[in-house]
Structure 1
């Protein structure tokens, strides 16, 4: 299992939200580059970055900070937040991003999402954020009517290879991941590369996900709150 450390960007700072609420923000580092450098020094070559301004406003606002991380440190970055059109995807890939995560775009602008998926199948990640069993989008403020199973099945037919699944009720809570959700998705869709996200609170959680053969996991608050060290996370990548 690949462990992927996370940086959430809000107004140019590394932060975490609690259950996706922009009213509950904790700032962990005023310099995203400084935070990314710690990941690089611990041996991580790939990180997860979310533009929280972009997710809410529909514009990719923190790109200069992400480009600085890529240019200065030479690590690969998967990113999401504010991506609404095929042109946004091309702009981000041209800027040096290794993978692009789309959630709102996949629901609200399916035509462009499928176009990007067809052209860049190995670089597109479906950001599937779940709220009460439904797919949430637009900064987790709205939910889709189509079922998770129906939507995923359709996307796989169009060449989808990778899904980042977040249980919003767990995100930023340190209450443990939704293991049942990830195991169920993996059994239903065994050919998809599944990235778990949300709720990781301890090294035991990582071992449980690893034992369940989950492909990758994003770790954020558990690291920032000193529940897991970078060294412990990096061990899984060796």
Structure 2
């Protein structure tokens, strides 16, 4: 299983939100480059970085910090937040980023998203936020009136391979991931690689996801709150 440490960037600082609420942003480090270096020193080579300014403003804002993490620290980065168009995706993927994560574009501009999949293939990750089993978007305020199968099949046909799936009721809560959700997703869509996101609280959560055969998991707040160590994360990380 791939264990992927997370950095959420807001105004150039490492923060975590609670259920996506910007008013509840907690700052963990003023220096994202130093934070990334901790992951590198521990033995990780790939991290998850979200541009929270970009997600709110609809344009990518924190690219300079991500480029410093890639070029200065030597980590590969998957990133999302504020990627709204094919041009946004192309701009990022034509730099040194390994992967982009798109969610709103897949809902609001599906043809552009399908074109991204056509051009960039495995480098394009779908960010699928779920609220009561439905795809949520627009800051999680709206849900898509479409089944998961109808939503995903056109993308699968165009080469989608990896989905970062967040149960928004668990995001930033330390309540544990929605294990049953990820089991159901993996069973319903066996050809997709699912990265679990939201709710990881301790090493036993990683053990369960690993035993379930999940492809990957993003770990954020549990690490920053001292609930899980980098050594424990590495125990379940297969690269």
Per the TM alignment, residue 139 of structure 1 is displaced from its structure 2 partner at its CA by 3.0
The aligned residue for residue 44 of structure 2 is: 44
The superposition leaves residues 177-200 of structure 1 with CA deviations (integer Å, 9 ceiling, x where unpaired) of: 000000000000011011000000
Per the TM alignment, residue 93 of structure 1 is displaced from its structure 2 partner at its CA by 1.1
Alignment of 1:161-180 (within 5 A): 161-180=161-180
Alignment of 1:27-38 (within 5 A): 27-38=27-38
TM-score by length of structure 2 reads 0.97
The superposition leaves residues 122-148 of structure 1 with CA deviations (integer Å, 9 ceiling, x where unpaired) of: 100000011222212233233222222
The whole-number CA distance in structure 1 between the counterparts of 2:138 and 2:10 is: 16
Runs of 5+ unmatched residues, structure 1: none
Per the TM alignment, residue 235 of structure 1 is displaced from its structure 2 partner at its CA by 1.8
Alignment of 1:57-136 (within 5 A): 57-136=57-136
The whole-number CA distance in structure 2 between the counterparts of 1:112 and 1:177 is: 31
Q: Aligned pairs, how many?
A: 238
Runs of 5+ unmatched residues, structure 2: none
The whole-number CA distance in structure 1 between the counterparts of 2:24 and 2:55 is: 16
The whole-number CA distance in structure 2 between the counterparts of 1:52 and 1:84 is: 14
The aligned residue for residue 54 of structure 2 is: 54
The whole-number CA distance in structure 1 between the counterparts of 2:227 and 2:26 is: 16
The whole-number CA distance in structure 2 between the counterparts of 1:147 and 1:29 is: 39
Please provide the CA RMSD for this pair. Answer: 1.0
The whole-number CA distance in structure 1 between the counterparts of 2:73 and 2:188 is: 38
SS of the aligned residue for 1:122 comes to: helix
The whole-number CA distance in structure 2 between the counterparts of 1:95 and 1:59 is: 16
The whole-number CA distance in structure 1 between the counterparts of 2:166 and 2:89 is: 21
TM-score by length of structure 1 reads 0.98
Does 2:191 correspond to 1:217? no
The whole-number CA distance in structure 2 between the counterparts of 1:54 and 1:148 is: 26
